[in-house]
Amino acid sequence: MVFNKAQSWSLTGNSGTDPAINFIGTTDNKDLVFKTNNAERFKIADGRMFFNINTVDGDGIDIIDNTPSKNSGTDVVWIKSVHPQSNDVGLLTISTANWQYPIFSARENGRILMGVNAYNSSLASCTDCSNYRLFVKDGIKTEKIKVEFANVNGWADYVFSDDYKLLPLHEVKKFITLNKHLPEVPSADEVVKNGVELKEMNVLLLKKIEELTLHLIGLNEKLEKQDKKIQQLEKNK
């Protein structure tokens, strides 16, 4: 603590202080340490803050704005600036010498990453993800997801329009024989390479169901006509 000779820092509050000369801190290169029961609980050292630790490499919370330098095996939770963007904020636990795996990272560009390697993950370095805001490695478990549509044109009911050109079944068969997947539906190789947009895929699957329904309706009408002809032939015998 720094104070004038005529002053002391009161434990019940202070008034008339000058922050230029009255402050809690050190004027040399020593750390500022707070203790309870003679055990170190909080430390300010070299521009960093450490909570509930006994040493710089002990267990606790480290708030830092640069690349950490920790021993292998140290288990510390960070709030820190994580690469590759200088103004990111993240949380991570160091259990190995590799500190580059944040548990959570809020990026400067507004994106949020969970469980993603700050450097090497395909999610973290995704070059075609400019339209996405949330990246979660290993998956998401939830009870409910709602997808919004801007207008009715995003849904597949246009298949039932009178002017919709339904691909004949013989053309569908020809396409499947040649490509080994349905028309408009991505192949297995494309899915592995590019992933699947759930919204677009759900719309596409609905489209295929509606097309299949139209084919079934058409086949049923043919069967009904054939059945009537058969019944008429039976009567004429």
pLDDT for 61-103, tens place per residue? 555 544 455 554 444 455 554 454 555 565 655 554 455 555 6
Query: d(Cα 186, Cα 172) in Å, to the nearest integer?
Result: 15
Proportion of the chain in helix, strand, coil states, percent, rounded to 5: 25, 15, 55
Q: Check pLDDT > 50 for residue 40.
A: yes
Picking from 115, 112, 102, 116, the residue whose alpha carbon sits closest to that of residue 134 is: 112
**Quick one: pLDDT at residue 237?**
75
Query: d(Cα 83, Cα 66) in Å, to the nearest integer?
Result: 9
**Quick one: pLDDT at residue 107?**
67
**Quick one: pLDDT at residue 204?**
96
* Domains of the chain, residue spans: 1-139, 142-237
Amino acid identity at 214: L
Handedness of CA 29, 32, 38, 41 (dihedral sign): negative
Q: Pick the most confident of 20-24, 110-114, 126-130.
A: 20-24
Cis peptide before 84 (omega within 30 of 0): yes
**Mean pLDDT for the chain?**
76
130-152 confidence digits (pLDDT tens): 677 777 777 889 999 898 888 87
The phi, psi pair for 112, rounded to 5°, reads -120, 130
